[in-house]
Every structure is written in C-alpha cells, then in structure tokens.
Structure 1
Amino acid sequence: MPRTTYRFGDCRVDVSARELRRAGELVVLSPKVFDCLAYLIERHDRAVGRDELVASVWGKTEITDTLLGQTILKARRAVGDSADEQNAIRTIPRFGYAWVAPLTMEQTDAPPTSSEETPAGATRLPRRRLALAALVALVVGLAWWAGIRFAQHREVEVVPVAAGAAAVLPVEVQAPAEWSWVRLGLMDAIATRLRDGAQPVVPSDNVIALTKTPRQDERLPDVRAATGATLLVVPSAAWNRSGWTVHLELQRDGSRIAVDAHDVDVLLAGRAASDRLLTALGKIPPPDANDPQGWADAKLLQRVEAAVLTDDLAGARRLLDSAPEALKQSAEYALRLAHVDFRAGEFEAADRRLRALLAQTSSESDPVLRARVLNGIGHAAIRLGHADAAKQVYGEAASLLQDRAEPDELGQAYMGRAIAAQVLGQDEESRAAYAKARVAFDIAGDALALARTEANEGMLEAARDRYAAAVGPLDRAAERFERFGTLNELAMASNVQIGAQLALLEPHAALAASDRAWPSRERLSNPRIRHALEINRALALEANGHRREAVALLEGVTTGADPAREKSVLASARVELARIALDSGQAGQAAELVLVALPTLIDGDDARGRAAAWLTGTRALRAAGRAKEAADQVARFADWARSSRQPAALRFAILAEAEQRAAQQGTAGPAGDASADYERALELASAGAVPADVVEVALSYGRHLIASGQTERATAVVGRVAQWAERDFGCALLQARLYSALGQRAAWEQALARARGSAGDREIPPDAALFNGGASSASL
C-alpha cells in the first residue's frame, strides 16, 4: 500500500521506515525521539497537547516534564532546530507543541510488512485482588520534581504554616499584553517580600496549582483549605500613563485590609505595597539596598521566574541571555540558567554548570548556596541514572542546611536522598529520609510537596507489599491532591490506594478510594491515566459485588483504548475480564482473553501482575478441557517464576503446580504431591503477610481438601481465612462448602447468609448453595 514521506529544508522523514535523512545522510535517533518527531509532523495542521504527546509516544500514565523536554530538544537538534529558534517545533506555553516548518508530502509504494506485532513494554497489571498501579514510587517522585527553587538566600525566622501563614494569589493585571509576566512574576515578588519581612508565606507553586480558574474568588476557599493559610493576599496591578498602581487586599477572618502603592516600575510599586501590608500586620519591612543596578538585576530575574512558572523556557533563556555581563558572573545567574537547562531536559549541561559553581562555593563562606547547588547536582544525577552519586550530594546538602531556617530546601535534600535510596534498594534509609522530608515541608508550609512526599512514602510501602503501612500516607496524599485539584496525581495515588485496600481485603475502603478520584475522570486529558482509573474502579466494584458495573467498565476500556498505544491497558482489562469470565463459568472465553494479554505483560518489575495473569490462564485452560495446554503453561510459568526470583511470582507458580497435580490425580484418594505444593504455597503466602495472597492459596487448597475428603485438614486451612469471611465473598463461600461437608447445617446456613450478604449480583455456586449433609463435594 502507499506510504507518505515528508520533506522540509534538507530533511526527509519516512515514518513507515522510521528513517530521518538530513542532507542525504541517515540520522540515527532513539525510538522515542523519532516517535515524537513523527507524531508532530503527521499532525502539522494543529497543535499537540503535552498529555496527548506523552500518551501517544510513551504509552505511559505519566512522564516527567524534563524527560519530555529532553526528547523535544533532541528532536529539534536532529532537524537543525533549537529551543531559541523554534523553526520546526514550536513550544505552545502551558499546552504543548506544534510543527511549524513547511512540509512537502510524497507518496511511495510501501514494501510488504509482517503482520506480527511486537509485544509492548512495561505495565503494572492488576492481579486477582490488587489494583493496577499507575506508576511506581520512583517514577512518581521524579515526575513531581518538575521545578527547583533557586531563590536568593534569606535568613528569616520560619514559622509553621498553621501560625498565621499568608497565601498570595496571582495578580489581576490591567495592562497591555506584553506585561503578562506580571501575573505570576509580581505574585512571587510580593510573596518573597512578605517572607523577607518575617511573614510566613505559602510557596507560590502551591497557589498556582489551586488558582486555575479565571475568577480568583471561585478558588479562595480551596486555597485556604488546601494550604492551611489563615491570611489571603489578593493583589491587582493597573497601568496607565503615569505608571503602575498595585493594590493588595488582605482577607482574614471576615475582615479586610487594603493598601495601595504607585510607581513607574511595577516591581517597585509591588514592593512598596508589600511593605505597607507588613506594617499593617505589625511587622517591620526589610531594609532596602540603595543599588539601582541590583534592583534592575532583581527585576530581570523576577521576569525569568515568571517565565519558568508558565513553562516558557525559551523566553526564560532569552531573558538570561540579555542580562548584563556583571549579572552573568553571579551565582544567582548560574543557578537560574542551570534551572532552565534542567527543566529543558539538558541534564548534562545543568550538571556541568552546577559543578563549576560548586567549585567556587565553600561551605564556610556560604553554606546555604552550596547546599542549593548540591541539591541541583543531585536532581541531575537522579535523572542521569547516578543514584549513588545523588545520594551522596543530597546527604551533604542536608548536613549544610541543618539549623539554617531553609526548610523547603532541606525538604528537597531529604526527598532526593529518599528517592536515591529507593533506587538502590535501601528501603529503611529511604523511609527515614521521606519522614524527614515530610517534617521539613510541613514546617515550610509547602502542602503540595508534603502531599507528594506522603504519596511517595505510600507507594514505596505498596511496592514492597507493605499495604497496611501504605494506606495512611496514600489517603492523606489523595485528600490533599483533591483539594489542590491536581487531578493526575489524585488519580495515580488513588489507583495505588485501591490496590492496597484490596490487598488488605478491605473492599469498602477500596471503593471509597475510587469514589474520591472518579468524579474528575472526564477531566483527565491523558487517556492512560483515565483508563487505569476505570480498571481500578472496576476491581473495587467487583470486590463489592457490583459485577455488571465492573464488566461494563472493563469492556468500555477494551473498546475505547487505542490498541496501538495502550497495549498494556488493554492487557490489564482483558485479564480482569478473564478472571470474571472464569468465575462465571465461561472458561473458554477466559482462556482466550488471558492468552492474548499475557505476551504484553512485563517480565521484570511486574512479576506479581504477570504471575497472577498466568495463574488465571492455567485455570481457564483446565476448566475449558485443554489439559495439555494447561500443563505446558504451568511448566513455562514455573520456569519463569524461579528465574525471576520474585516471591509473589514463586508462590503463584507453586500454587499453579499444586492445582495441576491435583487435576492430574483426580479427586479420589490421598492428595499426595499436590498437598505438598499447596502447603509450600500457603507457607510462602503466610510469610508474605498479604491477606489477599493468603486467601488466594487457601481458597484453592481448601476446595481441594474438601473434594478429596480431608475435612480435618480442610478445617485448619479454612480457619486461617475465617477472619475475612464477613467482607470477602470467596471466604464466605469456602466456609459454606466446609460446613456442608462436615454436616453442620446451622454453621452452613450462617456462612451461606454471609456469602449472600456480600454477593451483590454475583451468583452463589451450587456446591455452596446446597447442603449435602456431610458428603464430600465433587466440584473443584
């Protein structure tokens, strides 16, 4: 069939062949860089949103802005473009990117290609009782480190946020369009001035996250509730021929204080208004240096900060390039330029610039500046994959910042050290560093950073199967994300929270966690995040007996997800549909769903998800009468699990082997080797201390023992899961089967009543619904 190639300048792009040629020479690109380039070229008639580009190219729920920026930078360089020129790929501030170079399209005949599809990359697949984890703690932590504050050193008293902190809102600007930077630039300048006057102030990025609607009064209650601020500063700035008038209104407990200041310079007017507000609050404004050039430099750097806050990195770089030579020699200039490099994904450049500055900065002359530089080096090292080096520099930064009244910077150092330790598998050290970061951000009044820290703590615990320890921090983080309106973070934290609650066999709590994020699902622009939330809600619904709703959601994902870009999402939904189909007696359908999904699932860091899916597949094949295929899959499963050395994979594989031996032996006579495997699987599950895993093994082992007439041993196994019978449908059914086999009618009736109470629209199986007066069931 015909295919299209694109020409622009001296470049030629053949998307089908995945080739870029420049001046006739083949340009070697990484897959993601080429994918970004091709996606923008093919949509040259419109701008492409950031979330759309990430979902299409990476196929993930979320990536860091810096990774995206680095990829775009490489794509530009490949075609002779740059961030300053933007002749081919233009940045659309606060939206995404657009292809702007003129294109010539040519049609050629494509050679025949194989129809076989290569399996997609990594995902975290839900197992029987665990939710789809939208991301692991490391990725979340790095994704949320999008900005680094490089403010000038301030020795001020730090007061916890509860002690009368102020939140400064974005400025209402009445001026021509070229003054758009004033909205955030002056906001940050006012916040800095108030903070320098010993007034605790909520970090500006917290406020920006909460004030996304055009009308500020629509968000004032959210700012108060989310940040804990008791004072609100509502600023406005109006320009006319005589200069600028800055108006500040302080709102506190129903009372209002208003101050004004006028000056030809908007930042001078803002500073004067801030000083008058400090005086009204009974505080002493900080002294001013009589340094006109210093003030001009501060104004330029404030404009740079405003550009960074709006993600206009090219504009920030242009402003820095225009700085006078004396400013370019300063540490503050080097820090700002390194910050821009970092945000643009140029980690090596940022690292080089920061290390040069570090060599000029001693811990004796300026320990706070050195700590800031070290934090920046650590941030770059994490993204460059140098966790050992990052951990070391973060540790030095934390040591320098002790007792320096810089809690936000100290929190960054502890957070970085926690992430580095997590990468290195040093979990206890990571937990300790997260705890210290939490305290530091709490003192700084940075509620958003605090939420991200707690989310990372919870995800670390969930990644290590410590679900009871995970739910507390995840719940607190999700509550804060909901207040801040940070919808992606809310959805991702909720996904992991749902999984943790289901692992603990707390279906009502899992559904409550789903309810928190569910109303905002239509506002999630990234389809992968939205589909992950839909899959997790389906898991919570199924656990609460709402099977029809769960199936409808899962089927909606399988029809709505893009098969080319969301293979892992489709695999996740299909495995859950397979589990439900198997439980509903549709074994053939279940087998086909799993066999289609299994090759897509990751081999390495999602061993639990792949193992749970494989276990479902072996069960479905046996139930469908495909015994030889089932035996082959069990053998392959066991080989893989032992090579993976993952505890969850191993216990599921041993359980699969036990079930296979039991099926080959039949239900008559002694359990033999099957019982040995079952005992080993139960031992491993109990050692893992995950209730859902214990139940997974006990349900299978208990039914096997009852069917083979070993009621005494069955009693011991069923007794292990009796504590969950009130809230777990499977446990209640297992009790009913046991009491029926023992001839205990009253106990059977009570167990059956419990099962019916949690069944919802799930059917009660005949072998549990009928009392057989002590005769062993023949159903497995």
Structure 2
Amino acid sequence: MATRHYFFRTFRLDPAARELHDGDELVVLPASALDCLVYLVEHRERAVGRDELISAVWGRTDVADTLLAQTILRVRRALGDSGSDGAIRTIARFGYRWIEDTREVVEANVAASPEPVAAPVEGEADEASFAAGPVAEASDPGDARVRARRRHRGMPVAVILVLVVAIVTATWWSGRDAMPQGDVATPAADAQDAPALVLPADVPGSSDWSWLRVGLIDVVGHRLREAGVPAAPSESVFAMLGADGNARDLPTGTLRIAPSARVRDGQWTVRLHVQRDGQVSDVEASSGDVLQATRAATDLLLVRLGREPPRNGEQPRPIALEELLQRTRAALLADQFDLALHLITQAPDEVRAHPEIALRLAQIDQGRGDYAAAEVRLVALVDALPADASAALRGRVLGSLGAVRFRRGHAAGAADSYAEAVRVLEPAHDPLALAAAYSGRAAIASQQERLDEAAADLGRARVEMEAAGDALGLAQVDMNLGLVESRNYRPAQALPILAGAEARIASLGAREELAYVRFALVGVRLQMLDLAEALETIQSCWPPETHTGNPRMRWRLVLSKAFVLIGMGRLGEAEVLLSRISIEADPKDDADIRARAGALAGIALAARGRHEDAVARTEASLAPTFADDSPDLYVSTWTVRLRSLRQLGRLDAAEAETAALVAWIEAHPNPWRRVHAALAQAEQAWARSPDEAALAQFASAFMLAGSLGIPDDLVEVAERYVAALLERGEIDQASAVVGRIAPWADRDLRAAWAQAQLYRAQDRVDAWQRSTERVLQLAGERALPAPRID
C-alpha cells in the first residue's frame, strides 16, 4: 500500500495518519475540518462544489451551508489564513478550490488492514470536565490521536477515574500459510481464552454505508461476546490501531477478524477474514440485509471455533432498529449530535418508540453537555421500561443515569444508580456494561476517599474487562488500580501496577491513554523520590500537544512538568510553565489547573527565599474550593506558607494558621495529612521554644512518617528533625535519623543537606566537603537554609 503525504508552506498533511503538522508541531483539527482539507487538497486540480464537499465530508447532502462555511473557516485559521485569498479560494455561487502550491510525495508501505476513517465532527466539544460514562460510548471511530477532544461525553469509565484520583501527588511539595477450513482455532478449550479483535470493516465506497465500518465491529463483537468469546468494543479497537490501520503486539492466540461487506442486486455478502497465529480462514454469509448477513457469518465462525451460536442471550433487535442504532452510534462517536437527532426524527414511529432510542436521545443530550435534560429523559425511561425489557438494557440505562448524575455532582444519586445497575447487570452476561457500572461506582468511592471500596470495585471491573476481551479496557482498569494505591499513599505498590499498565498501553498504541498513565506515573515517582525517572517520564509526553488532543490533559502535563522541575531546583523553567498556564489556560474550563499553578508559583517563590512574595502568593490557595479540589496540594501549600511566615518572624500569624491547618486536617483526616499536621505543630513549637517538648513533637512526626513509608515525606520530616537535633547537640540521634534518609542523599536536596550538616557537626571535614558539593549540585536555583552555627 502506498502512503501519500502533501507538503505546502511549512505544513505536512498525512491523510492516512489523519495528521496535519506545521513543522514539528501537530495541528489538531476537528475531524470534519481535516476531512475537508484532505478532500480539497486531493482534488486541487479543480474547484469542488459545495454539495460535493458536504457529501464527501458528512456523508449526506442535507447539511447546512453555514456548517460548511464554519468548517472552511476553521481550516483557514489553522493554516494562518485570514480570508479567501489564502490556500482555499472561494468560488462564488459554486464552492471552493485549493490553490496553494503543493508537493505530493508517495511512499511505499506494507499492506495493511482497512484504514479506519474518522467520522466527521460538527462542532468542538465542551471539555470543561469529564464524567464517568458507559464504556460502550467511549471513543472516536476515527484516529485515536485526536479522539480525546471528545471525551467529555464518553471517555471509558476506567479512564475517567484518572481525573478523579490522578491529581499529581508530588508531595515534594506535596506469506499466508494454507489452513484447512475450520481450523481457525484449536479445540474449544483453547478458544475459551482466545480474545478476538474485530477490525474496521471494508465496505462499499458510498457514504451511505460508511457507518458500517464501525457498526460491523460492534455487531460481530456483541455476537461473539454473547457466545462467550471475548471481543473488544469498537472504541478500544480504534485506540489500538496504528497509523497504518494495524493493531500492535496482540496476545498470542488472538483472533484477528477483518469483516468486509459487498452488495449486488440487493443481496449483501459479509465475509469475515480470520487470522490466528499466522493461520487464516474465511467465513461468509449472504442476506438481503447487511446486519442479518453479519450475524449469520459470525454464527458460522462460532461453529468453526467449536462454539454454539447464542440462543439465550438478548433477542436480536429488529433490523430497522439495529441499523438506526448503528448509524446514530457512528454519529455520536463523531460528535455529530444534530445528525444523530435528524436520523432519529426521520425514522418510522414504531422504531422511534423503542426504549433504546430513548436511551440514544439521552446520550445525545449528554454529548451536548445538557446533563439536566439527559437526567430527566433517563429517569423517565427507567420508569417507562416495560417489564420484559432485557436486564442488559435496563442496566445500561441505569449506568447512563449514574454517569449523568456523577457529572452533575449528585454523588448520592449516582451511587444509587450505579448500585442498581450492578445488581441488574450481574446476571445479565454483559461484561462491558457491568465493568462500566463497577468503574462508575469506584469513581464515586474514590472521590469520597473510600479507597478500599474503590479498589474492590476496580478489581471486579478488571474481571469483567478480561472476560470481555478488551485489552485496552483492562489496561485502563489497571491504571486506575494503581492510582487508587497512589491516592491511598502506597506509591511502592502503585508503581509496578502503573508501569505494567504503561507497557501494555504503549504496546497497544493508544496515545491518549498513554499520556494519562504517564501523567500518573510522574506523581508516584516523585513520591518515591525518583526525580530523574519522573523527568524522563514527563519528557516522553513532551510537547503535550503531540501526545494528546485534549486541551485539559495538556495543561495537566504542563503542571506535572512544573512539579518535577521545582523538585529538581529548576525554578525558572518551572515558573515559565506556570506563567504559561496563568496566561493561556481557560479561566473557566481550566480553573482547577490555574489554581494549582498559582499554588506552585507560591511554593517556587518560597524555594527562592522570597518569603514575603510567597506569603502573598499562597493566600489565594487557601480558599475552600481549592481544598475541595486539591486537598493534599492544599496542605502542602499551607505548610510552605507557614514556613515563610516564620522566616519573616511573624510567629503569631503562623501560630494561628498552624492551628487552623491542624483543625482542617482533623476534619479531613488521613495518614498522610496527620504526618503533616504533626510536622507543622513541631515546627511551630520549635520556633516558639526550641526545647525538649518541641523535639518530642518532631520525633512523633518522624515516627508517623516512618510508618507511612513514603520516601518523600520521610525526608521532609527528617530534614527538619535533624536540624532541631543538631541545634540541641543531639548528634548521635541526628546520625540515626540521617541514616534513615541517606539512600536518597544523592538525589534529594533535603536529604543531602541534613547529611552535610551532620558531617559538619561531627567535624568530618572531607565528608562534609563532599556532601556540600552534592548539596550545591542539587540545589539548583533554590535558596539554601542558613547553616548551623556552633
């Protein structure tokens, strides 16, 4: 297969990968805008009429001209053109023509599976926040590299949890072989565990049938799952496809199924081309209806696998209903909400009256961000579902209701909906929907800091994902299990779970998920004082715009890098990133990121020794809303503020605020916060009276940090404790404490400083000089504490 690239000005357009680059920078465009650009460039020898362009991009002719005009405007803006005299010329009363000098380069490529075609997008998504949503709605049917921009409505629940629990807890601051027919699989016992990957379908070129590329994945996959063969849903399939349309590093034994559909004289023939460990086989079936042909072909495959086609599962939907659901699903996944609604309004009354269409209408509301309307529609649907409605349908409705309530901040109502969804779905043999319900329930538990419950439900979700054969969903659940461990202040346990999830996600080629898991790994590695690995991890996601199409996630990556740089003493670089957030991040959609950036800016000022500025800068970070959104960073910021107040000699203010911080922690307790409450009290007591009582408080804080077992916090307490011990002349006890943190003295300024001061107190000149050199190397732009005076 040949790959074509188009070069013009400083731009490179790669239609196969669905990417536009300006130099080294990825230009993120809505799918409809990218489709429009590609079509105009590929037909640059002539003018393209409006109707032709609309049909090519949206697959229909009843799209408003205003939408086309807005799409052309977006393309022009992305190219830096301000009017019709740029690369795209408006042809009056006809359409548009590409007039830019363009060079076409054709490269040979290895033959690949059918390329996924990104469905068009009508408008940009509102990405102010994310919500748990049914796994079955999770992803874009097109290029995985741009799909995250639509995740406000349908990110897999397992990934949603990232945004519930993955506040970076960087507490530094705080040739095909012939094969006989029927031998696709070894005996049924082996097929039991063999997952299936259904690739995008090869379908007729007419835009009327483009929805089948996605639809056949789900029709085949659903039929396989009903018969007990694990098969990933379409959203995971597309996330796993590379730019060449091939899935990467599939597990041994995976059934790789490539559907194709052809119609002749009103008769459809669907063929399933099956590969397993280098062996190939085909099955096919025909019918006057494409979906019936697909089901029949899948049943033939099941027989060859030694499986009995499903009889006791859900009754097959009427063909008209199935087609409408598949068409509207493709539209929803492409954010074409108006098109999805139009398809429903044009359907016959008997089809529109089906409960699954009411559910689809709620999903359209949800996709548009109208969660109140979606909740009203779903509540009415729960009450109106007929008694003979399938358990799987009832469970999906309840799961969607839980997702909407979660997005609206109604945790109690969301928890009730998810619990009922779990109860209904457990006997329903719908592992994907059940995994979604478990994950949604886990999201609520995590939000409420009931972390053991969250971990238990994620474990249950993991079992269902594995049963469903969703390799990507499984990796996402593992990612969130690691995040729960991290939030439970167990970074040593979280690190191997997250590293394993990262390796699997990388092998599957899911770009957006890879950014999320690396984002999470940064925080854990900072807790473990692996600063060099944390920097390497964040650099693997840099620049953010080439690793995620989601603006919210980009800012999270920027913030994470600032965390790392502050921890390494590279304050100027960190401050540039934080300033970028304050200037460029959206004040409404990115309010939480801007607040965290403000807190980090204050922490950086204190690290420079600019304590007056630090006190002023951190004051805004003590707002109750910040405590709700980022409780641990709230504590860390307040602790740094208290130290700056003491450095300025404002002990009364520091004492009052210490008492307020301790009171807040007592009202919101957990082991990590108790360590920092004890440390704040010890530091305040020492500032007032450096006596035995204050020293005992340091000892208590150090014991709590030791029992917590997080290197970052152990070092944080130890540095202060050692300084107090040396001031009191307790050199032997100081030596014991320094010994506890010595393993990190080669990478952490605080540990190195404590060690150097101990050597100085012991009059060990050579050791003191070597350790002081290390201190100076680690300090970077941070101001060092005043040395102890004998």
| Aligned pairs for 1:440-451 within 5 A | 440-451=464-475
User: 1:524 deviation in Å?
Assistant: 2.8
| Counterparts of 2:440 and 2:590, CA distance in 1 | 31
Give the letter aligned to residue 642 of structure 1: A
The 1:601/1:651 distance shift into structure 2, 3 A limit, reads: farther
From 512, 515, 518, give the equivalent of 1:494: 518
User: Which residue of the partner structure matches residue 409 of structure 1?
Assistant: 433
Asked whether the 8 Å contact 2:682–2:695 carries over to 1, the reply is yes
Distance 2:493 2:367 in 1: 33
CA distance in 2, matches of 1:327, 1:295: 10
Give the corresponding residue for 2:58. none
- Aligned match of 1:300: 324
Decide which of 738, 756, 760 is 1:736's aligned counterpart: 756
Deviations 1:299-352 (A, max 9, x none): 334334433443444444444455555555656555555555655533433432
Tell me, in whole angstroms, the C-alpha distance in 1 between the residues paired with 2:471 and 2:237: 10
Q: For 1:150-229, what aligned pairs fall within 5 Å after superposition?
A: 163-195=193-225, 199-211=229-241, 213=243, 218-222=244-248, 224-225=249-250
Instruction: Give the AA of the match of 2:323.
Output: K
Verify: 1:714 aligned to 2:734, yes or no.
Answer: yes
Whether the 8 Å contact between 2:149 and 2:549 is mirrored in structure 1 is: no
**Do 2:188 and 2:307's aligned partners in 1 also have CA atoms closer than 8 Å?**
no
Aligned positions of 1:210-609 closer than 5 A: 210-211=240-241, 213=243, 218-222=244-248, 224-225=249-250, 230-238=254-262, 244=268, 246-258=270-282, 265-271=289-295, 273-274=297-298, 277=301, 294-324=318-348, 326-327=350-351, 332=356, 336=360, 340=364, 345=371, 346-357=373-384, 360-361=387-388, 371-372=395-396, 374-380=398-404, 382-383=406-407, 387-388=411-412, 391=415, 394-395=418-419, 397-399=421-423, 401-402=425-426, 405-423=429-447, 425-484=449-508, 486-518=510-542, 521-541=545-565, 543=567, 550=574, 553-554=577-578, 557=581, 560-561=584-585, 566=590, 568-573=592-597, 575-576=599-600, 578-580=602-604, 582-585=606-609, 587=611, 590=614, 593-594=617-618, 602-609=626-633
Shift of 1:191: 3.0
CA contact (8 A) 2:273 2:281 kept: yes
State yes or no: 1:703 paired with 2:723. Answer: yes
> Structure 1 residues 434, 51: closer, same or farther in 2, change over 3 A?
farther
- Aligned-pair CA distance for 1:196: 5.3
CA apart distance, 1:738: 0.8
Give the Cα separation in 1 of the matches to 2:445 and 2:594: 33
Contiguous gaps of at least 5 residues in structure 1: 1-39, 70-91, 98-121, 132-156, 769-776
1:633-712 matches, cutoff 5 A: 633-644=654-665, 645-647=667-669, 651-652=675-676, 655-656=679-680, 658-660=682-684, 662-663=686-687, 671=691, 674-686=694-706, 688-712=708-732
Q: Deviations over 1:24-69 (max 9, x none)?
A: xxxxxxxxxxxxxxxx9xx9996799997646xx4x6x45689xx9
Q: For the Cα contact (< 8 Å) 1:51–1:525, is it kept in 2? A: no
Distance 1:568 1:719, change over 3 A: same
CA distance in 2, matches of 1:528, 1:395: 30
User: AA paired with 2:376?
Assistant: A
Provide the C-alpha distance between the structure 1 equivalents of 2:317 and 2:728, rounded to a whole number of angstroms: 90
SS at 2:626 equivalent: coil
Equivalent pair of 2:715/2:751 in contact (CA under 8 Å): yes
Cross-structure match for 1:77 = none
Q: Provide the rounded CA distance (Å) in 1 between the counterparts of 2:247 and 2:317.
A: 40
Q: How does 1:95-174 map to 2 (within 5 A)?
A: 129=172, 163-174=193-204
In 1: Cα distance, 2:147 partner to 2:529 partner: 45
Of residues 564-573 and 171-180 in structure 1, the stretch that sits farther from structure 2 once superposed is 564-573
Q: Distance in 2 between matches of 1:519 and 1:172?
A: 35
Percent of residue pairs bearing the same amino acid type: 32
- Give the residue type in structure 1 aligned to 2:730: Q
Q: Are the equivalent residues in 2 in contact too, given 1:159–1:200 (CA < 8 A)?
A: no
Residue type of the alignment partner of 2:430 = E
Correspondences of 1:760-775 after superposition (within 5 Å):
none
Distance in 2 of aligned mates of 1:459 and 1:160: 34
Q: Which residue of 1 aligns with 2:778?
A: 759
Letter in 2 for 1:539: F
Q: TM-score, normalised by structure 2?
A: 0.67
Say if 1:171 and 1:492 are closer, same or farther in 2 by CA, change over 3 A: same
Q: Distance in 2 between matches of 1:220 and 1:760?
A: 47
Paired residue type of 2:200: P
Q: Provide the aligned length of Structure 1 versus Structure 2.
A: 635
Q: In structure 2, what is the Cα distance between the partners aligned to 1:483 and 1:234?
A: 20
- For residue 220 of structure 1, give the secondary structure of its aligned residue in structure 2: coil
Counterpart in 2 of 1:115?
A: none
What does 1:9-28 align with in structure 2 at a 5 Å threshold?
none
| Residue 380 (structure 1) shift | 5.0
Partner of 1:772: none
